[in-house]
């Protein structure tokens, strides 16, 4: 479904349209007229799930939803950014971070929006110029030679224009605003977000079916050859984002911080520039590349011929009193020992003791201890949930795998029975030479293959049964079931949608085992096979 922040057709004559004006806000200082842009000037590679924002001068800006496997306001997901390469480790070494999204569709996974393309000269002029530019090919290059302050001024002026558009307000769209992306948002999207597996996410580049030159403009004759290129001419990353690597480097909203092994250093530095450009060597073109640039050079604000920007669309966290109440409730539930018996819930017991203490110093120390316990519990809960998600994905894979191995066993078994019972004469087997397909040697080889295939199937079936027992034993059933939707989302968005039915079956087997306490390998094998038969 094409998601469009539609500009209403306010005037009958298509060839003569006034631009929406916001003179009082100083957005466009003089009356000018513009034709709606042809999509080739802002969306050369359209997709069904594009989100299109209106722009001044009858223009458009295309965004993509970047989903995160989170649902509650305070849910976030731990991700590791950077690389494991120790060269320039102080700038790019692997560092833990957390990601979530500003918006949610009907309680589903939360997301933010990021530009499908880099901001072009045409889009920049449509917002910043006093008169509307004419849409033409030489303006659909990424805008460069602009400072970080120019980019922020662009977002400010564009946001104030959007706020004045009744056509946007009249449509059921998330309330938000555009800004430069944070370092975490950019790299999460650049790596492919939830559209890639965890191992693919940690690669130096997002998954590519062709060579790098099919996805990124870098230095050298086989790629950009020293020239900035038009937007959207190459292949996108898994989130359908173009030129996230190469062409123009992209400025971030937050400042550069050094890496200190497991965290970022406390000093805030200059601007962060990500993604490499048409001047970056092919060997350096990775999603981990992170360069610091000064906000100011010797003369004025820093600008460069190969540095531009891309936008995100997000929102503030606290938007209403209702959200404050929801956040307060979720925050109070963090690390409070939910799901733990009253006798084991140290946090609740500590809170009761604290309320009974009159000495302020002791009460303060108890509150600090309570906060430490909640923090430790929260870290434990997050680790537990990630472990359950991994176990569930493994269970789905094993269910699919054992059905594949059973197919091989049944094929080998049918072949062996056909040979020994229908084709070969038992009275002649011993007398035949070794090359005859009915010889004892050939039939023994078939029997060995049959035995090995049965052994492989039974081993995985046992492994599958073990995971059911271990998962059911190590975690409470409600805790397991709470990870159903997050795990389903991870599978469906990382190209493993074919595992969804196996995951549902694995949940069913766990619940059956918890209810009956019986190990039913033959039944579990049969139902895994039935799912494969439906595909």
Q: What is the mean pLDDT of the chain?
A: 85
Report long-range pairs for 221-227 (Cβ below 8 Å, ≥24 apart): 223/278, 223/282, 224/278, 224/279, 226/278, 226/279, 227/278
> For the segment 312-325, what is each residue's pLDDT rounded down to a tens digit?
999 998 877 887 88
Q: What is the pLDDT of residue 274?
A: 97
Q: What is the pLDDT of residue 346?
A: 63
> For the segment 38-95, what is each residue's pLDDT rounded down to a tens digit?
999 999 999 999 999 999 999 999 999 999 989 888 888 888 898 877 777 888 888 8
Q: What is the pLDDT of residue 21?
A: 35
* Mean pLDDT, residues 195-224 taken together: 92
Q: What is the DSSP string of 3-72?
A: EE-PPP---S-TT--BPP--GGGTS--S--B-PPPPGGGT-SS--TT-EEEEETTTEEEEEEEEE-S--S
Q: Does the structure show a pLDDT above 70 at 6?
A: no
Q: Does the structure show a pLDDT above 50 at 458?
A: yes
Residue 332: CB partners within 8 Å, gap ≥ 6?
none
* Mean pLDDT, residues 401-411 taken together: 92
Question: Which pLDDT band, with edges at 50, 70 and 90, does 11 fall under?
Answer: very low
Q: Does the structure show a pLDDT above 70 at 13?
A: no
Q: What is the pLDDT of residue 169?
A: 63
Give this prediction's pTM. 0.71
Q: Does the structure show a pLDDT above 90 at 532?
A: no
Handedness of CA 22, 25, 31, 33 (dihedral sign): negative
Q: What is the pLDDT of residue 498?
A: 78
Residue 249, helix vs strand vs coil = strand
> For the segment 236-286, what is each residue's pLDDT rounded down to a tens digit?
999 999 999 999 999 999 999 988 878 889 999 999 999 999 999 999 999
With CA atoms as reference, report the closest residue to 279 among 252, 303, 247.
247
* Mean pLDDT, residues 104-117 taken together: 91
Question: Which pLDDT band, with edges at 50, 70 and 90, does 173 fall under?
Answer: low
Q: How far apart are CA 250 and CA 71, in angstroms?
A: 29
**529 vs 12, higher pLDDT:** 529
Decide if 429 contacts 443 (C-beta within 8 A).
yes
> For the segment 212-221, what is each residue's pLDDT rounded down to a tens digit?
999 999 999 9
Q: How far apart are CA 356 and CA 354, in angstroms?
A: 5
Angular region, 420: left φ>0, alpha ψ -120 to 50, beta rest: alpha
**155 vs 439, higher pLDDT:** 155
Q: What is the pLDDT of residue 7?
A: 36
| Cα end-to-end distance, the chain, whole Å | 26
User: What secondary structure letter does DSSP report for 264?
Assistant: B
Q: Does the structure show a pLDDT above 60 at 170?
A: no
Q: How far apart are CA 295 and CA 283, in angstroms?
A: 27
Q: Does the structure show a pLDDT above 90 at 143?
A: yes
* Mean pLDDT, residues 449-470 taken together: 90
Residue 164, helix vs strand vs coil = coil
Decide if 258 contacts 288 (C-beta within 8 A).
no
With CA atoms as reference, report the closest residue to 272 among 340, 186, 209.
186
Decide if 283 contacts 232 (C-beta within 8 A).
no
Angular region, 225: left φ>0, alpha ψ -120 to 50, beta rest: left
**CATH code linked to domain 3-314:** 3.90.1580.10
With CA atoms as reference, report the closest residue to 203 among 295, 82, 72.
82
Q: Does the structure show a pLDDT above 80 at 202?
A: yes
Q: How far apart are CA 218 and CA 281, in angstroms?
A: 6
Least confident stretch, 12-16, 298-302, 317-321: 12-16
Question: Which pLDDT band, with edges at 50, 70 and 90, does 427 fall under?
Answer: confident
**300 vs 432, higher pLDDT:** 300
Decide if 272 contacts 291 (C-beta within 8 A).
yes
Question: Which pLDDT band, with edges at 50, 70 and 90, does 22 fall under?
Answer: very low
Q: Does the structure show a pLDDT above 50 at 343?
A: no
Residue 488: CB partners within 8 Å, gap ≥ 6?
500, 503
Q: How far apart are CA 298 and CA 76, in angstroms?
A: 41
Q: Does the structure show a pLDDT above 60 at 524?
A: yes
Beta strands in 285-400 (DSSP E): 290-293, 307-308, 312-314
* Cβ burial, residue 192 (10 Å; 0-12/13-18/19+): buried
Handedness of CA 11, 16, 18, 19 (dihedral sign): positive
Question: Which pLDDT band, with edges at 50, 70 and 90, does 491 fall under?
Answer: confident
User: What secondary structure letter does DSSP report for 309?
Assistant: -
Q: What is the pLDDT of residue 44?
A: 97
**What percentage of the chain reaches a pLDDT higher than 90?**
47
**453 vs 373, higher pLDDT:** 453
Q: What is the pLDDT of residue 20?
A: 37
* Mean pLDDT, residues 162-173 taken together: 71
Tracing tokens 């600008």 back to the chain, one arrives at: 303
Domain extents in the chain: 3-314, 327-368, 378-534
């Amino acid at each position: 479904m094409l998601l469009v922040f539609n500009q209403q057709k306010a005037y009958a004559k298509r060839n003569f349209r006034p631009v929406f004006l916001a003179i009082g806000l100083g957005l466009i200082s003089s009356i000018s007229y513009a034709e709606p842009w042809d999509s080739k000037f802002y969306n050369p590679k359209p997709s069904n799930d594009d989100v299109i924002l209106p722009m001044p001068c009858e223009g458009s800006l295309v965004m993509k939803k970047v989903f995160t496997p989170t649902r509650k306001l305070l849910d976030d997901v731990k991700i590791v950014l950077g690389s494991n390469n120790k060269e320039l480790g102080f700038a790019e070494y692997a560092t833990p971070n957390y990601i979530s999204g500003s918006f949610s569709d009907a309680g589903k996974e939360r997301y933010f929006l990021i530009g499908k393309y880099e901001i072009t000269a045409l889009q920049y002029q449509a917002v910043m110029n006093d008169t509307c530019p004419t849409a033409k090919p030489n303006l659909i290059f990424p805008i460069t030679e602009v400072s970080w302050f120019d980019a922020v001024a662009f977002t400010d002026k564009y946001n104030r224009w959007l706020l004045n558009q009744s056509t946007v307000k009249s449509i059921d769209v998330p309330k938000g605003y555009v800004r430069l992306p944070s370092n975490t948002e950019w790299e999460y999207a650049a790596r492919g977000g939830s559209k890639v597996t965890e191992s693919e996410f940690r690669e130096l580049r997002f998954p590519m079916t062709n060579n790098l030159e099919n996805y990124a403009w870098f230095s050298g004759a086989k790629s950009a050859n020293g020239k900035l290129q038009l937007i959207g001419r190459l292949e996108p990353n898994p989130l359908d984002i173009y030129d996230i690597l190469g062409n123009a480097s992209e400025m971030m909203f937050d400042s550069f911080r050094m890496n200190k092994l497991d965290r970022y250093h406390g000093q805030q530095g200059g601007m962060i520039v990500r993604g490499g450009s048409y001047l970056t060597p092919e060997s350096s073109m990775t999603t981990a590349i992170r360069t610091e640039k000064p906000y100011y050079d010797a003369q004025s604000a820093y600008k460069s011929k190969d540095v531009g920007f891309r936008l995100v669309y997000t929102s503030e966290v606290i938007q209403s009193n209702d959200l404050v109440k929801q956040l307060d409730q979720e925050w109070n539930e963090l690390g409070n020992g939910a799901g733990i018996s009253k006798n084991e819930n140290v946090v609740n017991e500590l809170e009761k003791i604290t309320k009974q203490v009159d000495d302020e110093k002791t009460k303060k120390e108890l509150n600090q201890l309570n906060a430490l316990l909640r923090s430790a519990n929260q870290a434990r809960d997050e680790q537990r949930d990630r472990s359950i998600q991994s176990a569930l994905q493994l269970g789905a894979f094993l269910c699919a795998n054992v059905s594949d191995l059973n197919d091989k066993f049944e094929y080998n078994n049918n072949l062996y029975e056909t040979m020994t019972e229908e084709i070969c004469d038992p009275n002649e087997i011993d007398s035949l030479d070794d090359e005859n397909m009915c010889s004892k040697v050939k039939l023994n080889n078939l029997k060995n293959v049959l035995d090995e295939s049965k052994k492989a199937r039974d081993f995985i079936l046992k492994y599958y049964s073990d995971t059911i027992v271990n998962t059911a034993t190590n975690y409470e059933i409600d805790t397991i079931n709470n990870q159903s939707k997050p795990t389903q989302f991870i599978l469906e968005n990382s190209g493993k949608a074919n595992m969804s039915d196996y995951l549902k079956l694995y949940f069913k087997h766990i619940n059956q085992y918890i209810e009956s306490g019986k190990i039913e390998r033959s039944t579990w094998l049969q139902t895994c096979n039935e799912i494969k038969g439906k595909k």
